[in-house]
Structure 1
Amino acid sequence: MSKKKERNTFTFPETFQVTSLIESPRDYDITDLVKVIGNKIMGYDTANITIYSNNSILNKYSTKDIELQAILYKNIVPHTYSLIIREDPGVSLESIICHEMVHFDQNERGDLVMEEKDNKLYFI
């Protein structure tokens, strides 16, 4: 008889909102993963993150050498982001989310600035 895996239960502040327009894998919820990383691990209480797929935006900034799997756009509204993930990404969704949440932290601390110029992205 196999023992049922126990899961942790978390509560999140109402000011940390995550909306996913892509389907979560069967074994976890994408919005919960983003909330755990952003609120419980990184300690942020305020965010509004929308997750969706749009290959054309990612293709626009990809090069012949690098195919972007995701990008985190910081919107003009404070603490508001769009996380765009490639449909059928070449790496695991967990890896993408963890990587992009590092950029979320960098943005919130003011350590990362992204600029668009001549249809290219520059990170300062």
Structure 2
Amino acid sequence: MIDALTVAVGVTALLLAAWCGFAAYRDEPTKDWHFIGMAVVSVLALAQLVIGLVQLAGGRSPDESTAVFLAYLIGAVACVPATGFMSLSERTRWGSVTVAAGAVVLAVLEVRLYDIWGGGHG
């Protein structure tokens, strides 16, 4: 995996979490700008999925289980879009809280992906 991309996904996820958390603090639902932020984070996670699949297809493998690695990659891609869709049905501050929580979960998944792949050894 590419360490810089893992860091980029994690950092942008935390920035999204802070932004949506601030919106929740201000008693605001997610707005169009938040969805643009979610799209940026999601595209980075999707790029990470593609790179991970290409590396697996090329014969490289994680230090831990390949199945666990794939599950984390898929979960990372799905995390922010899932909470974004949920926020559409909850047009209150709680929609913003949901996205903020999902973005924090994504950042944690990134740390775990880094560990599963080999902690920078790959």
TM-score by length of 1: 0.30
Hey, which of these two has a bigger chunk of strand by percent?
Answer: 1
Hey, which of these two has a bigger chunk of helix by percent?
Answer: 2
Q: Which has the higher contact order (CA 8 A, sep 6+)?
A: 2
